A and B are shown apart, each in its own frame.
Chain A
Amino acid sequence: MSSREEILNGLADAVVGGKQDLAVELANKAIEEGIDAYEAIMQGCAHGMSIVSDKYDKREMFVPHIMMSARAMNSAVEVLQPHVNVESVEDPGHVVMGVAFGDIHDIGINLVNSLLAAAGFNVHHLGRDVSPEQFIEAAKENNADVIGVSALMTTSMLGMKDVVKMAKEDVPGVKIMIGGGPVSQHFCDEIGADAYAENAPEAIKAVKRLVAERRA
């Protein structure tokens, strides 16, 4: 096995295992060895996180270990990101993310954001308790392809309706993805959102699809 493969596989394994120090060490090694930083992010970090996602789906991994993985991944991406040759990367899409108004539960969305960033998307995270107006403003400012809204409470999920309505009027064409505990495909259809993501990996797939649709 070449050193390049060893480093990238090692990086993916370090992310899966949630080994922050090892992930940073291997990210630095990748740079020293002249491995393209974008490739290291995609084939090391993002690949590791997609293994993590599959494991969460299969209930082989749960949130505490995913948090460790996300932290390891974030630290490695921090090392690699400054070395990415921006021009060589095809613009992968801009996503504005936030937790719905009146809701402060952000564990789920933070995981999704880590995965989206690892998959190469430009993520603009607005944090918790975000009003529909703030979503629309940020979508305009960042030329967003997708707005992602998360809610864990049945009370706050109602606000998603307003985001969809305002987006259709003010930023036509921008796709809306929704997710979170009480949200369902049924609710998504009812309020006219473009995608429902049941979990983090589904959210990544949905964003990929929505960006493609938006740009088609």
Chain B
Amino acid sequence: MDEMSHAERIKKVIDLEEPDMVPSFGPCSWGANMAWDNVNRVGKPEKDVYFPKFVHNPDIYADAWVKALDRFGFDFVHVLVGSNVLALPMGCKEAEPPWGIPQVVGEAIEKVEDWKNLKFPNMDTDGKIPVQLSAIRLLDKELHERRGDDVFITGTVIAPLTLAGFLLGVEPLMFAMIEKPDETKELVEFCADAGIECAKAQIDAGADHIFTPDPTASGDLIPADFYEQLAFPAAKRQSEAIRKYKDKYSHHYHICGNTADRLEILAGVGMSVLSLDNQVSLKEAKERIGDKVCLCGNVNPADTLFMGTPEKVEAESKQCIADAGPGGGFILWSGCDFPLDCPLENVERFYEMPKKYGKYPLQV
């Protein structure tokens, strides 16, 4: 089969057909290791560019991703200047460790019903949203316009329930789900609205694809019926809005934890791509929902990518391709974000895997 462009390959798998080769999703925050001379200091305490500088300077950010793309050849470049860009403008406090993803450390509201007092963020001015948008514009200009490369530029919006957890605090959110379900739904829907506007702004800036991670809706935290009643409706509405605004290829939903008891519910969100935690068997997911949605995952980020050897990375990646690759409809990725100090040789080996084992017709 002739070699496809990034976008051709991605669209093929989202259409649940066989591409030329299994596409691979870019690492998220690990990209900081490609800023300036950081690549020669992976895993070492001293850096050329520390994290706060990386996420406050769109030119450094975009430059790192262009270098990462050239080096690893994955199919998506990923823009996320922090853990999320909405919590801070909506009233949370954030801490920025020198070498770590900025973290939300203070909540915006004390009671779930106070969501009515939350500020709806201004996408042009608030917090790090302008940095996020500038980085996307720079990548759009360099990759899409100047190079004519159709690689998918991925923007990021935190999924509705998880944003609600940042704003209220995860523990209070857990209580609110039981004691004030109606107000919880209102808060989550409000979060979905903020996310939709933020996604549109990123698409306007040049993003092809919006990644919405939902760690607080994790299968290890909330039961399937809570997911269905409190997280699902807003996630579905957000997914529809993103795809309506851009196209059927534009929404990527990631969920953490063991979600084997709710795979069919998840597929109902309607996302273009569903990425799953490494606790879920890709083989089982493929059998159950592989005819409904393109799957993405799920090499173990801690034991394998971070602490394993390149050989272990290779064996596990090969298995993922064997489990979910047949027939297409699969993107190779980690089970969650790459740990920041993943060794370079593991990351390199990981992105060699589609070429080695992922060419169609599959040999694994």
List residues of A whose CB falls within 8 A of some B CB. 18, 59, 61-65, 67-68, 71, 102, 104-105, 107, 110, 153-158, 182-184, 186-187, 190
Contact = CB atoms under 8 A, between A and B. Distances in A.
Interface of B: 95, 97, 99-101, 103-105, 170-171, 174-175, 177-178, 220-223, 226, 258, 261, 301-303, 306-307, 339-341
Nearest to B176: A64
A104 B339 contact: no
Contact of B226 (A62, A102, A183): A62
Contacts of A156: 100
Contacts of A154: 301-302, 306, 339-341
A136 to B, nearest CB: 21
Contacts of B226: 62, 64
A18 B170 CA distance: 18
Contact of A186 (B175, B223, B258, B303): B303
Contact of B174 (A59, A67, A182, A187): A67
B303 A155 contact: no
A177 to B, nearest CB: 18
A110 B99 contact: no
Contacts of B101: 153, 155
A184 B178 CA distance: 31
Contacts of A153: 100-101
20 contacts: A61-B223, A62-B222, A62-B223, A64-B174, A64-B178, A65-B223, A68-B175, A71-B175, A102-B97, A102-B100, A104-B95, A110-B171, A153-B101, A154-B301, A155-B101, A155-B339, A157-B302, A158-B341, A184-B302, A184-B303
Nearest to A185: B303
Contacts, number: 72
A59 B261 contact: yes
Contact of B302 (A59, A68, A102, A187): A187
A2 B261 CA distance: 41
B59 to A, nearest CB: 25
Contact of B307 (A64, A102, A155, A187): A187
A115 B97 CA distance: 32
A68 to B, nearest CB: 6
Given A62-B226, A154-B301, A182-B301, A107 B171 contact: yes
Given A182-B301, A187-B302, A63 B174 contact: yes
Contacts of B104: 104
A156 B101 CA distance: 10
Contacts of A110: 171
Contacts of A68: 175, 178
Contacts of A182: 301-302, 306, 339
A11 B341 CA distance: 47
Contact of B178 (A65, A155, A158, A190): A65
Nearest to A59: B261
B221 A62 contact: yes
A110 B170 CA distance: 12
A92 to B, nearest CB: 26
Contacts of A107: 170-171, 174, 221
A67 B178 CA distance: 10
A17 B18 CA distance: 50
Contacts of A157: 302
A185 B340 CA distance: 21
A71 B104 CA distance: 25
Given A184-B302, A184-B303, A64 B340 contact: no
A102 B101 CA distance: 10
A118 B301 CA distance: 34
B169 to A, nearest CB: 10
A184 B258 CA distance: 16
Contacts of B339: 154-155, 182
Contact of A155 (B171, B223, B258, B341): B341
Contacts of A184: 302-303
Contacts of B340: 154-155
Contacts of A61: 223
Nearest to B305: A154
A59 B303 CA distance: 24
Contacts of B301: 154, 182
Nearest to B221: A63
A153 B336 CA distance: 11
Closest 6 CB pairs of A and B: A154-B339, A182-B302, A64-B174, A62-B223, A63-B221, A67-B174
B261 A64 contact: no
A107 B306 CA distance: 24
A67 B306 contact: no
Contacts of B95: 104
B307 A63 contact: no
Contacts of A67: 171, 174-175
